[in-house]
Amino acid sequence: MENVCQSCGMLMSQNDYGKNADGSINKEYCKFCFFDGKFGKEETMEEMIESCIPFWLNDGDCKTEDDARNKMLKIFPDLKRWKK
């Protein structure tokens, strides 16, 4: 079963989960966004989107940077990290 990282929107399998400060698994965030109980980088949602564009292009779902950016702008505001 896959979950979606509540920071970057990545589909996660069991090996992709982040880690809490006590070393336990955190199923809400991926290992790239969240480790040792904190986010690896403090950034705005817009900065996260810009840094994720290459990954969204590599996955093949998006053909252009604008397409990837627009898709993330629709998804990210509903993710736990960015929800207001």
> Which 3 state secondary structure label does DSSP give 59?
coil
pLDDT at 72: 96
Tokens in use for 80? Answer: 């736990």
pLDDT at 2: 60
List the Cα angle 9/63/7 in 5-degree steps: 10
> Which residue range is the domain that position 61 belongs to?
3-78
pLDDT at 37: 96
Please state the pTM of the whole predicted model: 0.89
Q: Is residue 11, in this structure, part of any structural domain at all?
A: yes
pLDDT at 1: 45
Chunk the chain into consecutive blocks of 10 residues (it has 84) and report each block's average pLDDT, rounded to whole numbers.
Answer: 86 95 97 96 96 89 93 96 92
Give the count of domains, the chain.
1
pLDDT at 24: 97
pLDDT at 61: 79
Tokens in use for 67? Answer: 């397409």
Q: Is residue 83, in this structure, part of any structural domain at all?
A: no
The answer to whether 56 and 65 are in contact (CB under 8 A) is no
